[in-house]
Structure 1
Amino acid sequence: MDLPRNAFKAALAAGRRQIGLWCTIPDPAVIEMHAGAGLDWIVIDTEHTPLDAERVMPLLQAASAYPVSACVRPGANDSTEIKKLMDAGAQTVIVPYVQSGAEAEAAVAAMHYPPRGMRGVGGATRSSGFGRIPGYVSRAGAEICAIVQVETVAGLDALDDILAVPDLDGVFIGPADLSTSMGHPDDLTAPPVRAAILDATRRIRAAGKAPGILSHDRGMLADAEAAGALFLAVGVDLVLLREAVAAARTARG
């Protein structure tokens, strides 16, 4: 048994655009459906859902039969939580609400084994093939994709320090929290917010990291891609379902 290749990490390193979906419906059948939809990546979200590591593992298993990269967002920048999600099999972790270089460094360290980081070693985890992957602890870092979310004014102010963190693969700009932090709650594409997102995207790409964004606004996604965004989430599954139900009901008059 060999170490699984992280196709998402490889694509970002090669500068290839990746189209994804934010997943908040905690059901293996739904995740399996998303995984077979032709997406490059999906995010299993535990920050704004009732999910924990125990319930994330079946979702990762449901996605594993398909050529899609399943990423996980922990509830917080917490090393114990990140460790559990990675032991469950997550190779790409998107850490929310990072506001400083020190916080970004802590997030990356939580994903890597010593001497690079502080991830604890478990002998028979799903991530190691239940102990069947030779040299897993020494090799795992090559396929770990570390991404942090910058979603506040403080985070934008600290962006240069965040981008300087070694082994950081990408930075995801969170429009919802950022718009609120900038004084534009419920208006994710207010002109100042849009300008801040695009400026940050250019800076991230110029620093050699992969920029990412989530938006239901196709114009915003197009502008972000033009600014250099490499991983774009085209929506949130629950929101897309809500809108489809509303449209179907409206169509009946």
Structure 2
Amino acid sequence: MPAAENRFKSALSRGQLQIGSWVGMADPYLAEITATAGFDWLLVDGEHAPNDLRTIMEQVRVIQASDSHPVVRLPVGETWMIKQVLDAGAQSILIPLVESAEQARDLARAVQYPPNGVRGVGAALARSSRFSGIPDYLATADAQIWLGVQVETRAGLAALDDILGVGRVDGVFVGPADLAADMGYLGRYDVAEVNDLILDALGRIAAAGKAPGILTTDPAFAATCRRAGARFVATTIDVTLYAQAIRQAAQQSRDNLADQT
């Protein structure tokens, strides 16, 4: 019995568009609600959301029970962190702020068992092997792990071709917010100079045979990125969506009831 198929990885390898949402509420109940929405993938954010290993695992668990696929973003690309989330059952991970092929090669080794990598062999204790319930897990797990790296600085873009040359990197996500900040446009997402670099990078990633990714809540720019080659596209952030909706609801209630006395 082999490791479960990574449906997200398989779909991307076939060139299929995968539409996703950011999951930053750090709560499995809310993640489960989001998993009913119909997205192809959901990004459980361990970088900017208040998540730890246990909350990540619980969210991965409820998302895996849906038709959506969980992708875990770690705060940094530490080998021990990668080992823990893989053992907790994540099959797809995204690592921020990758700026060199050397970093990418270290990450590639971290997601593979020896002799190809350095992932610790502790599957007997792990949820990923169904607690030793998958007899062939060690022999088949590597092929089902999807490794995505974020390129989100000028240094990262300068090293993009070298990063794309690391065979075990499956996808490259271009980080618009950090790239804009690194270029001197902190908090601005409408700068042509930044967007031109993003679109150029997406095209280069696609040409190299890797899956290009992006997060944008602007429908027009999302469509432009798709035309440039983006294959995994996040279009929604649960935290901001909820914040906007609940504020609007409060204001509508005030407007509706304010003059009723």
Normalising by structure 2, report the TM-score: 0.94
Distance 1:110 1:160 in 2: 21
Shift of 1:249: 3.4
Cα distance in 2 between the residues matched to 1:251 and 1:193: 37
Counterparts of 1:1-16 in structure 2, within 5 Å, are: 2-16=2-16
| Residue pairs, 1:239-250, within 5 angstroms | 239-250=240-251
Distance 1:50 1:82 in 2: 17
Give the match's secondary structure for 2:65.
Answer: coil
Q: What amino acid maps onto 1:31 in structure 2?
A: A
- Are 1:189 and 1:220, in contact at CA under 8 Å, matched by a contact in 2? no
What is the CA–CA distance in structure 2 between the aligned matches of 1:130 and 1:193, rounded to whole Å? 46
2:218 & 2:37 partners in 1: Cα distance? 20
Q: Which residue of 2 aligns with 1:200?
A: 201
Shift of 1:242: 1.2
Deviation at 1:54, TM superposition (A): 2.1
- Match in the other structure for 1:156: 157
**Alpha-carbon shift at residue 124 of structure 1 (Å):** 2.1
Root-mean-square deviation (Å): 1.1
**Displacement after TM superposition at 1:2 (Å):** 4.5
- How far 1:196 moved relative to its partner? 0.7
Say yes or no: does 1:138 pair with 2:139. Answer: yes
User: Which one has the largest radius of gyration?
Assistant: 2
Q: Deviations over 1:112-155 (max 9, x none)?
A: 11122111010220011111111211110111101000000000
Mean Cα deviation higher: 54-63 or 23-32 = 54-63
Task: State the one-letter code of the partner of 1:49.
Answer: A
Matched, 1:75 2:75: yes
Identity of aligned residues (%): 44
> Does residue 1:20 correspond to 2:20, yes or no?
yes
- Name the SS of the counterpart of 1:205 in structure 2: helix
Q: Distance in 2 between matches of 1:17 and 1:251?
A: 37
Correspondence for 2:259: none
- Count of residues in correspondence between the two structures: 253
Contact 2:28 2:55 in 1 (8 A): no
Distance 2:77 2:213 in 1: 18
Following superposition, the deviation at residue 250 of structure 1 comes to 4.0
Alpha-carbon distance between aligned partners in 1 of 2:38 and 2:54, rounded to the nearest angstrom: 27
1:191 correspondence with 2:192:
yes
How far off its partner does 1:65 sit?
A: 1.4
1:212 Cα deviation from its structure 2 partner: 0.3
Secondary structure of residue in 1 paired with 2:72: strand
Mapped partners of 2:37, 2:50: distance in 1: 24
On the 8 A contact 2:172/2:210 being kept in 1, the answer is: yes
5+ residue gaps, structure 2: 256-261
**Cross-structure match for 1:233:** 234
